[in-house]
Amino acid sequence: MLLEVRNLKKYFSTPGGDLHAVDGVSFGIEEGHTLGVVGESGCGKSTLGRVILHLLDQTDGQIFFEGRDITHVNKRELKELQKKMQIIFQDPFSSLNPRMTVAQTIREPLLITKMYPKDQIDKEVLRMMDTVGLARRLANSYPHELDGGRRQRIGVARALVLNPKFIVCDEPVSALDVSIQAQIINLLLDLQKERGLTYIFITHDLSVVKYLSHDILVMYLGQMVEKSPARDIFRHPLHPYTKALLSAVPIPDVDAKLNRILLKGELTSPINPKPGCRFAQRCIYAKDKCSQVNPELEEILPGHTVACHYAGEINGL
Amino acid sequence: MTKKDVLLSIKDLDVQYKTEDGVVHAANGISLDLYEGETLGLVGETGAGKTTVALSVLKLIPDPPGKIVAGEITYKGRDIVNMPESEMRKIRGDEISMIFQDPMTALNPIIPVGEQIAEAVRFHSDVSRQEAQQKAMQTLELVGIPAERYDEYPHQFSGGMKQRVVIAIALCCNPHLLIADEPTTALDVTIQAQILEMMNELKSEMNTSLIMITHDLGIVAHMCDRVAVVYAGQVVEIGTTRQIFKNTAHPYTVGLFDSLPHLDDADDTELDERRLKPIPGLMPDPANLPHGCKFAPRCPYKTDVCENPVELKELEDGHMVRCILMDKQPGGEG
């Protein structure tokens, strides 16, 4: 297990009370594997990634990396950690400094960590540009001169230049057109194969996440509702929310049968949430118990856990 | 599909924007017909010219820097391109209306949502304030928002609800033609499913024709009767949704389908071996387009002939393709 998270919580205080962005999430990732984290906007998937990387402080819970408890680290330890854990952001437009050239952006982490002697740094930057498929002639270009795909390659290079073991990919292809999206996905897959990288891949795009994940974790309003190997979750989604989510994906096939489970109602507020299942209000199977008792995660099938009181019943298990 | 009357006809539309870097050719001879009651999908990548088509139909191209330099747009037999603005204002929002992409910016943040709908009603019909309010409340209910929320402001609504308000504004005058520009791109999939379902229902109730601009081929498969694939300001392939999906002919359309991660692929291959097939290269700079086939620089089937301009040719009934290799190339998966 390269990374393990136990009962991780992150609450933000707001004027209306505590916003439970991440509420008791637990999982582990094997080295070289990809965990896909899916859920709709506001479910806490980005916050989860950021808390793991210490970009946000956790409220409760524990984080283990390479077997070591890294929940609380000092500045020096954090700097060491950042060499091993990196992030690729969603928006290649706002996550790059517009006043830094391609080479400067990729060089920055090397200057901060002093990983290489000065005279080697430039060579390392060019090598990195080759790795991610950025032509060397672009070294002195600024982000605004480049298209979205190339800009996202800079983001990948910046994350990769310290030779990390673990990368949080926070919607890295959502802002890109499909043909460019495919280029970046292939790049991430190649890099994983070559370097044995471990990814957390955060996205709302289910076909992308299925394509490149070993395991998938589904979040709803800060809580994990289901986790399983990628194939199983698509063949046998167990949680009513996962079922609805999968059924809502428009499949690019004219003969695809549409069996949409249309959810009624709006999201419940994650601010001071009431006890009980947070999905209960939109759930077609909800009973009284659902709005009173919070369902615990249970391993119903091998490797397949779900948080629903009636998961067994609904799925005939 | 039975051929019905043509509601909107676009012929050889050329739209140019004058910029510091030169003249940007946003539309290069786009031609398409929209029949009564049908849903036509307009598919293509960022910058292909999809939104330019929509804005041209409504005569909302910002001039300057943009200008319709050539071509005809006929709506119910009336010439839109040369229509005086006073007349256009009567059509816009009444007969033809548009759902904009981003519900976060399409609404006025300091006017209650109900008022924003009533405003459109008052503008287009001779009704009292109260009648307009009535109509606005009805339309809110129609899109699934309780009428009590009439006096609330946009910030009090979630993204999906805001998009419903935008749709309500577009629908309140019972338009004949609705243009939806990526209406669900900013929304989550479960909310998207609700909105698309609602649009389909409303469309069949009101017999509205719909132009659906999107880059999501999944949405096209479920919503559209016909599809036009747009690349670099040209229609490269047009046909019924079934023709486009089952008998994909243009190399660009084939490339679009191939770039998608199919949900089934993941079942058949091990993760280590999975790779997508992206279209190599980038879309050409619209200020500096190739003279011949616009897709040629990225096309795996390119030959010398592709240096010359290509016309749309009929492949099968109603299925037109802009490619010189059309006859030689096997259809299907390419």
Segments in chain B forming alpha helices (H): 50-57, 85-91, 103-106, 113-124, 129-142, 159-171, 189-206, 217-223, 241-246, 251-259, 265-268
Q: Is A182 on the interface with B (CB under 8 A)?
A: yes
Record: contact A256-B221, CB cut-off 8 A: yes
- Show residues of chain B in contact with A179, CB under 8 Å: 45, 255-256, 259, 278-279
pLDDT at site B266: 63
Closest CA to A249 of B212, B193, B265, B256: B193
- Residues A219-238: pLDDT tens digits? 999 999 999 999 899 889 99
Tokens of B223: 């919503």
Q: A67 lies in a domain?
A: yes
pLDDT at A39 over 80: yes
pLDDT at site B75: 94
pLDDT at B332 over 60: no
pLDDT at site B325: 79
Grade residue B244 by pLDDT with cuts at 50, 70 and 90.
very high
Q: A51 lies in a domain?
A: yes
- Show residues of chain A in contact with B242, CB under 8 Å: 254
Tokens of B176: 């004949």
Higher pLDDT, A5 or B198: A5
Q: What mean pLDDT is reported for chain A? A: 91
The answer to whether B274 and B266 are in contact (CB under 8 A) is yes
Higher pLDDT, B187 or A36: A36
Q: Is A265 on the interface with B (CB under 8 A)?
A: no
pLDDT at B101 over 90: no
| CA–CA dist A144, A104 (Å, integer) | 14
Mean pLDDT (whole number) for B290-318: 90
- Residues B30-76: pLDDT tens digits? 999 999 999 999 998 888 889 899 999 999 998 888 899 999 999 99
Nearest chain B CA: its distance from A261 CA (Å): 9
Q: A264 lies in a domain?
A: no
Is the torsion defined by CA of B286, B292, B295, B299 positive or negative?
A: negative
Grade residue A253 by pLDDT with cuts at 50, 70 and 90.
confident
Record: contact A245-B190, CB cut-off 8 A: yes
- Residues B256-293: pLDDT tens digits? 999 988 766 666 677 777 888 888 888 888 888 888 89
pLDDT at B226 over 70: yes
Report the DSSP beta bridge partners of residue A228. A216
- Element spanning B30, H or E: strand B22-35
Closest CA to B244 of A256, A177, A176, A252: A252
* Matching residue, tokens 């954090």: A78
Grade residue B159 by pLDDT with cuts at 50, 70 and 90.
confident
Can you give the pTM of this predicted structure? Answer: 0.85
The answer to whether A182 and B277 are in contact (CB under 8 A) is yes
Please give the radius of gyration of chain B, using alpha carbons only, rounded to the nearest integer: 21
Q: Is A244 on the interface with B (CB under 8 A)?
A: yes
- Residue A252 has its nearest CB partner, among B189, B217, B255, at B217
Is the torsion defined by CA of B210, B214, B220, B223 positive or negative?
A: negative
Q: Which chain B residue has its CA at the smallest distance from A205's CA?
A: B189
- Give A312's contacts (C-beta < 8 A, 6+ positions apart): A300
**Residue B317 — φ and ψ, nearest 5°?**
-55, 110
Mean pLDDT (whole number) for B205-212: 90
Record: contact B245-A230, CB cut-off 8 A: no
- Show residues of chain B in contact with A260, CB under 8 Å: 193, 197
Grade residue B334 by pLDDT with cuts at 50, 70 and 90.
very low
The answer to whether A295 and A307 are in contact (CB under 8 A) is yes
Record: contact A40-B216, CB cut-off 8 A: no
pLDDT at site B47: 82
Domain hosting residue A33, numbered range: 3-84+164-238
Is the torsion defined by CA of A295, A296, A300, A303 positive or negative?
A: positive
Closest CA to A17 of A270, A266, A279: A270
Where residue A31 sits, what CATH number does that domain have? 3.40.50.300
The answer to whether B293 and B324 are in contact (CB under 8 A) is yes
pLDDT at site B88: 92
ipTM, two decimals, is 0.79
- Quote the distance between the C-alpha of residue A260 and its chain's center: 26
Record: contact A250-B262, CB cut-off 8 A: no
Number of domains present in the structure of chain A: 1
Grade residue A267 by pLDDT with cuts at 50, 70 and 90.
low
Strands B177-181 and B226-231: unpaired
Q: A214 lies in a domain?
A: yes
- Show residues of chain B in contact with A181, CB under 8 Å: 259, 278
Strands A85-88 and A166-170: parallel
- Element spanning B79, H or E: strand B78-79
pLDDT at site A163: 92
pLDDT at B322 over 90: yes
| CA–CA dist A178, B255 (Å, integer) | 10
Which A positions 266-295 lie with beta carbon below 8 A of chain B?
Answer: 266-267
Q: Which chain B residue has its CA at the smallest distance from A42's CA?
A: B188
Q: Is residue B181 exposed (0-12), middle (13-18) or buried (19+ Cβ within 10 Å)? A: buried
pLDDT at A259 over 80: no
- Show residues of chain B in contact with A177, CB under 8 Å: 45-46, 215
Q: Which of A30, A90, A178 to probe by mutation at the B interface, max B CB count within 10 Å?
A: A178
Q: Is A145 on the interface with B (CB under 8 A)?
A: no
Q: Which chain B residue has its CA at the smallest distance from A43's CA?
A: B188
The answer to whether A242 and A288 are in contact (CB under 8 A) is no
Q: Which chain A residue has its CA at the smallest distance from B157's CA?
A: A266
Nearest chain A CA: its distance from B161 CA (Å): 9
Q: Is A259 on the interface with B (CB under 8 A)?
A: no
pLDDT at site B265: 64
Q: A121 lies in a domain?
A: no
Record: contact A147-B282, CB cut-off 8 A: yes
Grade residue B2 by pLDDT with cuts at 50, 70 and 90.
very low
Q: What mean pLDDT is reported for chain B? A: 87
Q: Which of A46, A190, A194, A254 to probe by mutation at the B interface, max B CB count within 10 Å?
A: A254
pLDDT at A205 over 90: no
Q: How many CB pairs under 8 A join A and B?
A: 127
Q: A197 lies in a domain?
A: yes
Q: A38 lies in a domain?
A: yes
Record: contact A178-B259, CB cut-off 8 A: yes
Grade residue A213 by pLDDT with cuts at 50, 70 and 90.
very high
Q: Is A41 on the interface with B (CB under 8 A)?
A: yes
Tokens of B34: 């929209």
Report the DSSP beta bridge partners of residue A304. A301
Q: A99 lies in a domain?
A: no
- Show residues of chain B in contact with A92, CB under 8 Å: none
HSE value, Cβ hemisphere, 13 Å, CA-based, for B276: 30
Q: Is A179 on the interface with B (CB under 8 A)?
A: yes
Crossing angle (nearest 10°) for helices B189-206 and A240-248: 50
Would you list the DSSP string of chain A? --EEEEEEEEEEEETTEEEEEEEEEEEEE-TT-EEEEE--TTSSHHHHHHHHTTSS--SEEEEEETTEE-SS--HHHHHHHHHHEEEE-S-TTTSS-TTS-HHHHHHHHHHHHT-S-HHHHHHHHHHHHHHHT--GGGTT--GGGS-HHHHHHHHHHHHHTT--SEEEEESTTTTS-HHHHHHHHHHHHHHHHHH--EEEEEES-HHHHHHH-SEEEEEETTEEEEEEEHHHHHHS--SHHHHHHHHHSPPS-TTPPP---PPPS-PPP-BSPPSS-TTGGG-TT--GGGGTSPPPPEEEETTEEE--TTHHHHTT-
Would you list the DSSP string of B88-150? HHHHBTTTEEEE-S-HHHHS-TTS-HHHHHHHHHHHHS---HHHHHHHHHHHHHHTT--GGGG
